[in-house]
Each structure stands twice: as C-alpha cells, then as structure tokens.
Amino acid sequence: GYNNIDGEAARKRGIAVCNVPVYSTGAVASMVMTFVLSLSCSLAQQQRKLWGPQPDREGWASIRGLSHFELAGKTIGLIGGRGAIGSKVSEMARVFGMKVVITSRSSKPCEGAEVVSMDELLGRSDFVSVHCPLNSETRKSIGRPHFEKMKSGAFLINTARGGIINEEELCDALERDVIAGAGLDVQESEPPAEGSRLWRLAQKNCLLTPHIGWQRVETRQRLVDSVALNITQFLKGEPTNVVN
C-alpha cells in the first residue's frame, strides 16, 4: 500500500512514487483463509482454555457454546473483491466448497463469484472480508450500520488496512455479540494503543495478529527483489509501477 504517501504532492514536485503491487497476493489471501479456518473451528478459544496457571482441561475437551462448523456451503463476502488478493481469496474459498459474493463498482460478471449490493453481501455472508484500499472515501467506511446488517453468527475479517473499519464501533459490536467475532491482521493503530478495547476482546472473540499477512519469508524476499528492480528501472529512466 501507499496510503501514507501524498502522491499528488510528489507528482507536483516531479517525484515518481513506485510501489510493488502483487508481491504478497498469495500470502495475504492465505492469511484470510487462516482466519476463516480458525474461526470456523473455535481453534483459538480452545487453546485459551489451556493457558494460564490453571488450565481448564475439562472445558478444553468440550465445544459447548463455541462456533464449530464446516465451510462447505457457507458464504464468504468480499468487500472490494475484484482485486488480486480478493480474487485469490475467492479461488481458495471455492476449494473449500464455499460460495463467494463480492461488492464491486463494476457490474461486470466475476468468475466464480456473484456480484451483489453491500446490503445483500452483509446479510448473506458467514464471513465478511475487507479488500478495498484505504483512502478518503473508505476511511472508517465500515461501522455500526454494517455490523447490524450482518448475521449474528458471522465473522468480520480485515487484512487490508485498519483505518477502513470504525474500530470503536467494531468493539461495541463484539462486546454486545452483534456479530460472532473478528479476525484482524490490521488495526487503526499498529500496535493498538495501550488502552484499546481490542486487547481485551482478544481474550473473547477477536483474533489479533500484528500485520503479518505479508511477512512470510518468500514474500519478503519477493518484495526486496521487486524493490531492487524498481530502483534499477528508475535509474535507467524507465520507472515501473508508478502510482502517481
């Protein structure tokens, strides 16, 4: 992403801003499915029962009161799902027998997925995954009205940018069990502030990871190689992946 760079200001000064657009597609898509798999089988909740000085081994042996279901036939909704990562998630989800619905500014058919309105996506999906960029239009664009339209047993997943979600309203929804839970690889502030409710909710129904979706060994090497190529092309006077 390059949302932390003022591309317009750089353009006015003749500065080329180049990014590396597709180095982490598979890794981030895998992170989404990691959340889906974990949330569908109460993996984290079961492990928490064994933590601490007094493990709850009896509770650990029971799935009573926990989400535990197969993925086949379930629906995953991808907000902004036409991009490279969203398309890869769609491909992976279908392998598990999941149905895929997406929102898109384009009404063109999307292979393997059904294009629907935001309201329909929220109402139908068992998992809602965010795949849009962070900009002035999308900042805090997903909040209370969206959570209230989701199924009470549905989960929200965000591997895009933390600022897209209204974090305070998400915390309210998680505390009140408006939705079943969330998997957040990105947060509005990384790491979350000391007093953030997300830390407490991580002990209840929110999986928190420190923006690691893109950080697999192979992914990082691909990034370094691509940055080196960008620099080489710029020095040749043939810049690539210019975003401004």
CB 196 within 8 A of CB 41: no
Residue-averaged pLDDT of the chain = 93
Scan for tokens 């209204």, then name that residue.
166
**Segment 96-141, tens digit of pLDDT:** 999 999 998 777 778 899 999 999 999 999 999 999 989 889 999 9
E strand map for the chain: 75-79, 99-103, 114-115, 127-130, 155-158, 181-184, 206-208
With bands split at pLDDT 50, 70 and 90, how would you rate the model's confidence at 235?
very high
Neighbour-count burial of 125, counting CB atoms closer than 10 A to its CB (0-12 exposed, 13-18 middle, 19+ buried): buried
CB 130 within 8 A of CB 1: no
> When comparing pLDDT for 125 and 64, which is higher?
125
**Segment 137-176, tens digit of pLDDT:** 999 999 999 999 999 999 999 999 999 999 999 999 999 9
pLDDT at 182 exceeding the cut of 90:
yes
How far is it, in rounded angstroms, from Cα 80 to Cα 131? 5
**Segment 190-213, tens digit of pLDDT:** 999 999 999 999 999 999 999 999
pTM above 0.95, yes or no: no
CB 20 within 8 A of CB 27: no
Query: What are phi and psi for residue 43, nearest 5 degrees?
Result: -60, -50
pLDDT at 21 exceeding the cut of 90:
no
By annotation, the residues acting in catalysis are 161, 190, 211
Q: List 161's β-bridge partners, or say none.
A: none
CB 159 within 8 A of CB 130: yes
CB 155 within 8 A of CB 173: no
How far is it, in rounded angstroms, from Cα 178 to Cα 207? 16
